[in-house]
């Protein structure tokens, strides 16, 4: 497996992890009421938006030839950091 394939695999693993976390938040949002439900929905929408960006970037990396994927990797790393920061926000503040 080459570096690009390994990197794409790591992004896929992260996307799967984030997807599971979003599912957990969706379940919690169903039990939330009033302003807390709204906060959950806003956070979930944000996570979906960032995750969609990551999927698009992953597809672009897969399609890229040679070393042309390196700038895409840098962009994916920034998206990954943004998603990790967003997904790890303190859930306790919503409870």
Over residues 55-69, the pLDDT tens digits come to: 999 999 999 988 888
Residue 4 corresponds to which tokens in the numbers above?
A: 């690009």
Q: What angle do CA 59, 77, 90 make, to 5 degrees?
A: 110
Q: Residue 93 has what pLDDT? A: 57
Q: Residue 91 has what pLDDT? A: 57
Q: Residue 1 has what pLDDT? A: 76
CA 43, CA 87: separation in Å to the nearest integer? Answer: 8
Convert the pLDDT of each residue in 16-43 to its tens digit.
988 998 888 888 888 888 888 888 888 8
CA 46, CA 83: separation in Å to the nearest integer? Answer: 9
Which letter does DSSP use for residue 89 in this model?
A: S
Instruction: Quickly count: other Cβ atoms within 10 Å of residue 91's Cβ.
Output: 14
Instruction: Tell me what the pLDDT averaged over the chain comes to.
Output: 86
76 burial type by CB count under 10 A (0-12 exposed, 13-18 middle, 19+ buried): buried
């Amino acid at each position: 497996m080459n570096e690009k394939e390994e990197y794409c695999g790591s992004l896929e693993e992260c996307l799967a992890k984030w997807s599971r976390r979003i599912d957990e938040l969706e379940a919690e949002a169903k039990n939330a009421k009033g302003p807390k439900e709204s906060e959950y929905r806003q956070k979930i929408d944000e996570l979906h938006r960032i995750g969609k960006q990551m999927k698009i970037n992953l597809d672009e990396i897969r399609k890229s030839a040679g070393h042309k994927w390196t700038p895409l990797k840098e962009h994916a790393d920034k998206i990954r950091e943004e998603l990790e920061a967003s997904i790890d926000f303190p859930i306790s503040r919503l409870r």
